[in-house]
Amino acid sequence: MDKHTAVLADSMYVDKTKAAEDVSFELPSLALQTADLQAMGTLSLPIAGLLDDMTMTITKIGVDKGYGSMNKLKKMAVEFRWVQDKVNASGDVSHVGCKAFLNVVPQEIPGISVEVGSATELGGTYTVLRYQLYVDGSEVLLVDRLNQILKINGVDYMADVKKLL
């Protein structure tokens, strides 16, 4: 089995323009809403297709044009690219490219804290409307909240629901 090691580098694009390198980011989790049933007490089962709010965070160093591009009071297309090492059972190392494409709306314009001798670290939180993740060229995840798409590892969990509507 292959082992994945450290992330070597990353970059961030906002509306197709490079905004930053070596940023820290946390992509959204998919938290399914649940329905409670009575089965030897309460049994909470996830409801595929009903998601809680999806948010993501971005942290970058320095105030620059990239910081300005992250702060628009409208929908933004954000792309992250990163490379991680992979080691196979023979010990051979290769690089794996990953990409995440998101449509987001800022929840805040982050404040700026400045201290002499220290790097300025900026962070923001964003509401995610659409999230698509590729690992080594293969689509792993596609969630489009406004178009009712929930596709995980090639399985479209909303297809049957849409057929019945």
Question: Given this model, what pLDDT does residue 13 score?
Answer: 96
Domain total of the chain:
1
Question: Given this model, what pLDDT does residue 17 score?
Answer: 94
Residue with tokens 């009712």: 148
**CATH code where residue 30 lies:** 2.30.110
pTM over 0.85: yes
Per the prediction, the chain carries an average pLDDT of: 93
The one-letter amino acid code at 39 reads A
E strand intervals along 32-162: 32-38, 42-51, 55-61, 76-87, 93-106, 121-135, 138-144, 149-152, 155-156
Range of the domain at 98: 3-36+43-164
Tens digit of each residue's pLDDT (9 = 90 or more) over 59-111: 988 888 888 888 888 999 999 999 999 999 899 999 999 999 999 999 988 88
The one-letter amino acid code at 68 reads G
